[in-house]
């Protein structure tokens, strides 16, 4: 069988499987994310049916999928709304850091990791998954909910913080001095501020750049702009996801509805490959020895994320049910946690990998499930307000 034939057969089977999982998820009233992640375990290294020819395509498409998820999420809000919300929720970002990073750092020490490895585990437990949560909010039809701006503010603050944390962590893992660490953080901060300033001050000009009666032209122009900005922010040391999100919020509200409609099919296709690629990175066999520690850490940091979301939504005067929805929406960890684990493993702290893989898988599956049942739980456990 030729390589092209094998590629087409693997992709065809993959997309058929995703379709069937989506139907099953809709029937049981869940987001398809947990089912896709669990099924993807069988496709990675050590899996039952590993993808061979299609793997490079899936990994590349996954990067585009993350960018598309954050772009369409940004299209839901204007630059002015986002800046005001982030300013308002800077205390929520501080609470997020103080509640969620220390458990990971402490767990790292208890597991016998060197302090750079413990620092990496602190980052893994701190940051939620923007990609999973963006898809989850859409699946559960919560984009317009009152608590959603608080959730998004926490995510944006985390993404911006990761633009500073990742260069710092890389320097620490390499054993370099403080001057190099400061230079890396300064470069990343400059990139974020540059993109944010451009999005906030010149977003109104985008409608003239993107507008065209032909949907194909709109799609190509918006996708080209997003990938260019995402690539630039990644090159400058920030996150490609942050760049894509800022492009979305820079698009004027008058144009955003049309952009969402045009992008939706492409976003759904690439987003599905993102979750497949994410599940393929996890070797289930390596997780078993550290599973008790993983489950305990996941339980603790799921609770601290619920507390974070509760606090952030409370600042927006959201009721108890909305606060619980905000908290459960933030539980899932994902792409940034995997990146941090990859940095630590590449630097020789190999024991971080299995812990991070198991931890991320548990919360990437449990987070969407708990978010789905947040309303029934609040009806039973919380007073009506």
pLDDT in tens, 158-197: 877 877 787 778 778 877 666 666 776 676 667 666 766 7
CA 317 to chain centre: 26
Nearest Cα to Cα of residue 157 among 83, 93, 84, 77: 93
Question: Over 80: is that where the pLDDT of 302 sits?
Answer: yes
Question: Is the distance from CB of 251 to CB of 259 less than 8 angstroms?
Answer: yes
Nearest Cα to Cα of residue 229 among 196, 272, 258, 204: 196
Question: Over 60: is that where the pLDDT of 153 sits?
Answer: yes
Q: Given pLDDT bands bounded at 50, 70 and 90, which one contains residue 313? A: very high
Comparing 100 with 71, the larger pLDDT belongs to: 100
What CATH number is associated with residue 350? 1.20.1530.20
- pLDDT per position as a tens digit, 264-282: 888 888 888 887 887 787 7
**300: its two tokens:** 């603790």
Mean pLDDT of 217-241: 82
Nearest Cα to Cα of residue 371 among 154, 134, 74, 156: 134
What gap in Å lies between CA 124 and CA 120, rounded to an integer?
Answer: 6
pLDDT at 383: 60
- 8-22, 77-91, 224-238, range with the lowest pLDDT: 77-91
Please, what is the average pLDDT of the chain? 83
Residue ranges making up the domain that contains 55: 3-381
- 197-206, 218-227, 305-314, range with the lowest pLDDT: 197-206
Nearest Cα to Cα of residue 133 among 341, 375, 368, 303: 368
Q: Given pLDDT bands bounded at 50, 70 and 90, which one contains residue 308? A: very high
Mean pLDDT of 351-374: 88
CA 277 to chain centre: 13
Q: What does the DSSP 8-state code read for residue 347?
A: T
pLDDT at 351: 82
Q: What's the structural domain count of the chain? A: 1
What gap in Å lies between CA 229 and CA 250, rounded to an integer?
Answer: 12
Q: Given pLDDT bands bounded at 50, 70 and 90, which one contains residue 134? A: confident
Task: Locate all alpha helices (DSSP H) within 30-147, ordered by sequence.
Answer: 33-40, 55-74, 79-88, 90-110, 115-126, 130-139
Question: Is the distance from CB of 51 to CB of 291 less than 8 angstroms?
Answer: no
């Amino acid at each position: 069988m030729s390589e092209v034939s094998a590629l087409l057969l693997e992709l065809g089977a993959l997309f058929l499987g995703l379709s069937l999982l989506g139907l099953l998820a809709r029937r049981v009233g869940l987001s398809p994310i947990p089912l896709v992640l669990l099924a993807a375990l069988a496709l990675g290294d050590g899996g039952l049916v590993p993808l061979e020819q299609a793997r490079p395509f899936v990994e590349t498409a996954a990067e585009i999928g993350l960018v598309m998820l954050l772009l369409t999420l940004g299209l839901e809000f204007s630059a002015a709304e986002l800046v005001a919300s982030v300013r308002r929720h800077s205390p929520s970002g501080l609470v997020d850091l103080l509640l969620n990073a220390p458990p990971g750092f402490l767990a790292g020490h208890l597991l016998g990791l060197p302090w750079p490895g413990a620092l990496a585990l602190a980052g893994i437990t701190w940051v939620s998954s923007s990609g999973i949560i963006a898809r989850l909010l859409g699946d559960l039809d919560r984009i317009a909910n009152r608590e959603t701006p608080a959730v998004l503010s926490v995510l944006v603050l985390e993404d911006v913080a990761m633009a500073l944390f990742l260069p710092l962590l890389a320097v620490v893992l390499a054993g370099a001095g403080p001057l190099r660490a400061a230079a890396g953080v300064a470069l990343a901060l400059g990139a974020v501020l540059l993109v944010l300033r451009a999005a906030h001050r010149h977003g109104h000009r985008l409608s003239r750049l993107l507008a065209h009666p032909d949907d194909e032209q709109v799609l190509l122009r918006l996708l080209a702009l997003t990938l260019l900005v995402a690539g630039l922010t990644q090159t400058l040391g920030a996150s490609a996801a942050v760049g894509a999100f800022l492009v979305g919020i820079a698009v004027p509200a008058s144009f955003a509805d049309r952009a969402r409609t045009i992008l939706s099919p492409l976003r759904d296709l690439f987003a599905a490959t993102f979750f497949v690629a994410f599940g393929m990175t996890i070797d289930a066999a390596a997780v078993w020895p550290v599973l008790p520690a993983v489950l305990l850490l996941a339980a603790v940091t799921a609770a601290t994320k619920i507390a974070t979301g509760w606090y952030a939504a409370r600042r927006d005067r959201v009721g108890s049910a909305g606060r619980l929805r905000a908290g459960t929406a933030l539980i899932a960890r994902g792409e940034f946690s995997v990146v941090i684990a990859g940095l630590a493993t590449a630097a020789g702290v190999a024991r971080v990998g299995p812990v991070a893989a198991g931890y991320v898988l548990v919360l990437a599956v449990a987070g969407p499930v708990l978010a789905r049942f947040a309303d029934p739980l609040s009806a039973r456990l919380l007073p009506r307000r």
